Amino acid sequence: MFKKLKDSIQGFSDQVKETVVEKEIDSDTLDDVLWDLELELMQNNVAQKVVEEIKEDLKEELVGTSVKRTQVDEKIKSSLKKSMRNVLKAPDFRIEDLANEKPGLVLFMGFNGSGKTTSLAKIAHSLKEDHEILLAAGDTYRSAAIDQIEEHGENLGLKVIKHEYGSDGAAVVYDAKEHAEKEGYDLVLADTAGRSHSDKNLMEELDKMCRVNDPDLKLLVVDALSGNDVVEQAKKYEEIGFDGIIVTKVDVDKKGGATLSLGYLTGKPILYLGTGQGYEDMEEFDPDQMVERLLE
Ligand SMILES: Nc1nc2c(ncn2[C@@H]2O[C@H](COP(=O)(O)OP(=O)(O)O)[C@@H](O)[C@H]2O)c(=O)[nH]1
Ligand SMILES: [Mg+2]
């Protein structure tokens, strides 16, 4: 999945081997190779700030240490691993925990096409054995959005609360929450629009959605293929605030840097990675595993 990044790390390591036989690594030697690594990281969609952080960390770790030729690979890898691990935040909560709220309300936010509805359905699929799940068709804007979530409801055997197209998404979610309270559901998973109803701005609508419904968890869904743009997207949603991130389409993203950048720049944990279009194609995010993947 992260082949390009792996190649560049190998190149970095080879260069250190060329310049260092068995002496202390000095700052100048390292600067040359760090430059290459920096370029590669940036070409792999790692944001500038994160590249700087990794570089500084790596310098601190390596300058002044003496490494035997045979141990260069290992040393570089372990240092880089440590630096990358430092920029990733581990999730400190699980969606299941919200079931105790009876009903817990989870909002899925993100721009059109980012994978909100698909991710919502995947999570519903993974939780439905142990919990009573209700779906809310809160995206009343996009044509076919309601049909899409209804189809997931049918496939998964889950009830969907919906209104008409063009109606107020906040009211749909409000209804769903009431219905869930009355009928004893554990969790409401609510879709939201990724575009605005022409007259208002999207963030205002989402703000209303949140004020009316007081969600227990707000998840931002971003598409790894957007590259560095995901950071811009996340910044826009900081206006509303969110508690965690889902990164989708990592199965088609050959770079992987966006995921590395997001956690660090938003300070919010990545909870899941979307790895395909099927219901099973979602992984709980594990920072250690992520770093292993980048460097294996
Ligand atoms: N390959 C791949 N495709 C995905 C993933 N998540 C969503 N998609 C696809 O991306 C497209 C947009 O997803 P959708 O859930 O409708 O996005 P929404 O507009 O945010 O609700 C659909 O064709 C999905 O099947 C993923 O993790 N991997
Ligand atoms: Mg959708």
pTM score above 0.85: yes
**Closest to 141 in 3D by CA, of 111, 119, 176:** 111
Instruction: Say if CB 123 and CB 272 are below 8 A apart.
Output: yes
In short, whether 251's Cβ falls inside 6 Å of ligand 1 is yes
Residue 244 exposed, middle or buried by CB count within 10 Å (0-12, 13-18, 19+): buried
Q: Which residue has the tokens 């890898």?
A: 77
- 38: Cβ contacts below 8 Å, ≥ 6 apart: 51, 55
- Mean pLDDT, each 10-residue run in order, the chain (296 residues): 65 72 72 81 86 90 81 79 86 86 93 95 97 97 92 98 94 98 97 74 91 97 88 89 94 83 89 96 92 77
The number of the ligand 1 atom at minimal distance from the alpha carbon of 145 is 21
> Which amino acid is residue 20, in one-letter code?
V
Q: What is the C-alpha separation between 192 and 279, in angstroms, rounded?
A: 19
In short, whether 118's Cβ falls inside 6 Å of ligand 1 is yes
In short, whether 226's Cβ falls inside 6 Å of ligand 1 is no
In short, whether 192's Cβ falls inside 6 Å of ligand 1 is no
Q: How far is the CA of 222 from the centre of ligand 1 (A)?
A: 10
Q: What is the C-alpha separation between 265 and 154, in angstroms, rounded?
A: 38
In short, whether 263's Cβ falls inside 6 Å of ligand 1 is no
Q: How far is the CA of 90 from the centre of ligand 2 (A)?
A: 27
The number of the ligand 1 atom at minimal distance from the alpha carbon of 248 is 27
**Closest to 186 in 3D by CA, of 110, 134, 237:** 134
Domains of the chain: 3-87 (1.20.120.140), 95-295 (3.40.50.300)
Nearest CA to ligand 1 atom 17: 115
Instruction: Say if CB 109 and CB 220 are below 8 A apart.
Output: yes
Using one digit for the tens of pLDDT, what is the confidence trace for 250-295? 999 877 788 888 888 898 999 999 999 999 999 999 999 888 877 7
The values of phi and psi at residue 200, to 5°, are -120, 160
Residue 68 exposed, middle or buried by CB count within 10 Å (0-12, 13-18, 19+): exposed
Instruction: Say if CB 140 and CB 146 are below 8 A apart.
Output: yes
The values of phi and psi at residue 169, to 5°, are -60, -35
In short, whether 113's Cβ falls inside 6 Å of ligand 1 is yes
Q: How far is the CA of 144 from the centre of ligand 2 (A)?
A: 8
What is the DSSP track for 191-259?
Answer: E--SS--TTS-HHHHHHHHHHHH--SEEEEEEEGGGTTHHHHHHHHHHTT--SEEEEE-TTT-S--HHH
3-state helix, strand, coil in the chain (%, to 5): 55, 15, 35
Share above pLDDT 70 across residues of the chain, in percent, rounded to a whole number: 94
Question: What does the pLDDT read at residue 283?
Answer: 94
The number of the ligand 1 atom at minimal distance from the alpha carbon of 148 is 16
In short, whether 227's Cβ falls inside 6 Å of ligand 1 is no
For residue 271, how many C-alpha atoms fall within 13 Å in the half-sphere facing its CB? 20
In short, whether 248's Cβ falls inside 6 Å of ligand 1 is yes
Question: What does the pLDDT read at residue 255?
Answer: 78
